[in-house]
């Protein structure tokens, strides 16, 4: 099942904003909604999807199992709770949210396989995994892993992860595409945006979706910005534009690396 190239992310969004924005973005044409157990808004996402009136089969829905639920006796129960909150019988993609050494990786992957085989998830994958952890997870899984969801923006070089997902026939889903707002003041991206008559956000999102095997999550609490973010499929960046944005990557570009969760990054 193909993953829509542009998704709507709900990290750090209140329930009220989620209930307002999810139907709005679906009405705008978004068909990929992303949430997680730890976000605390799965119920609001479910309400928003229901309010939209969309046929469930027409929507690609992702959630993520939090590390506290990785133990075998908690894993399936937590997924069942997520499905109840989301008001659906299945998610299209279920991810392990962060690496954790508290539970053996083999047990985590076995639990992920089990809920997929039980029909609660169409596809399975991981999030915030290094290439080394990806390789181990792939080797342990009876079912092909579909996605590694990671931080990816112009200031972070993810070439090793991209190479690994391509080799494994997986998809990289990018979050934090705007680098926590840092791209908005970038002179290189500003110039490219002016040349194309587009917003900076549109240029960054286009840079991501134009890469092979990459999908991206956008996030906003503004219906106007959501519409703008969706309007990225009627133009293309030149190879020179793409190179200039890639060249913005720097060694200290990573933003999200929480102690106790983050692996040894590539």
Structural domain boundaries enclosing 205:
6-246
pLDDT at 1 over 70: no
Assigned domain for 251 exists? no
Active site residue 155: no
Q: Decide if 31 is inside a domain.
A: yes
Asked whether residue 263 is assigned to any structural domain, the reply reads no
3-state secondary structure of 72: helix
Residue 33 belongs to a domain: yes
Mean pLDDT of 112-133: 98
Both tokens of 238, joined, read 């030149």
pLDDT at 151: 98
Structure tokens at 84: 């109840």
CA distance 92 to 123: 6
Counting the structural domains of the chain, the total is: 1
Whole-number pLDDT of residue 262:
98
User: pTM of the entire structure?
Assistant: 0.97
* 1 within a domain of the structure (yes/no): no
- Choose, from 39, 129, 152, 176, the residue flagged as catalytic: 39
Give pLDDT tens digits for 184-241. 999 999 999 999 999 999 999 999 999 999 999 999 999 999 999 999 999 999 999 9
Cα radius of gyration rounded to whole Å, the chain: 18
- Tell me whether residue 136 is in a domain: yes
Q: What is the mean pLDDT of the chain?
A: 98
Q: Is residue 64 within 8 Å of residue 97, measured between CB atoms?
A: yes
**Would you state the pLDDT for residue 212?**
97
Instruction: List, for residues 240-265, the tens digit of each pLDDT value.
Output: 999 999 999 999 999 999 999 999 99
CATH code, domain with 238: 3.20.20.100
Question: pLDDT tens-digit profile of 45-75?
Answer: 999 999 999 999 999 999 999 999 999 999 9
């Amino acid at each position: 099942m193909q993953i829509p190239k542009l998704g709507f992310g709900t990290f750090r969004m209140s329930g009220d904003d989620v209930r307002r924005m999810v139907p709005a973005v679906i009405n705008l044409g978004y068909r990929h909604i992303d949430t997680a157990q730890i976000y605390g808004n799965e119920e609001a996402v479910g309400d928003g999807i229901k309010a939209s009136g969309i046929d469930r089969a027409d929507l690609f829905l992702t959630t993520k199992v939090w590390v506290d639920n990785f133990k075998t006796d908690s894993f399936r129960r937590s997924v069942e709770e997520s499905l109840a909150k989301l008001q659906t019988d299945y998610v299209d993609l279920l991810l392990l949210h962060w690496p954790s050494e508290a539970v053996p990786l083999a047990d985590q992957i076995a639990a992920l396989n089990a809920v997929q085989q039980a029909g609660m998830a169409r596809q399975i994958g991981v999030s915030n995994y290094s290439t080394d952890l990806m390789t181990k997870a792939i080797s342990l899984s009876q079912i092909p892993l579909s996605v590694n969801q990671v931080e990816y923006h112009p200031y972070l070089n993810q070439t090793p992860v991209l190479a690994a997902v391509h080799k494994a026939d997986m998809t990289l889903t990018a979050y934090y595409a705007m680098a926590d707002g840092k791209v908005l003041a970038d002179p290189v991206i500003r110039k490219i945006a002016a040349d194309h008559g587009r917003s900076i956000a549109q240029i960054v999102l286009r840079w991501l979706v134009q890469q092979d095997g990459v999908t991206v999550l956008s996030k906003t609490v503004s219906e106007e910005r959501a519409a703008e973010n969706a309007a990225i499929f009627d133009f293309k960046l030149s190879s020179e534009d793409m190179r200039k944005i890639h060249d913005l990557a720097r060694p200290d570009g990573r933003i999200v690396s929480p102690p106790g969760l983050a692996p040894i990054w590539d």
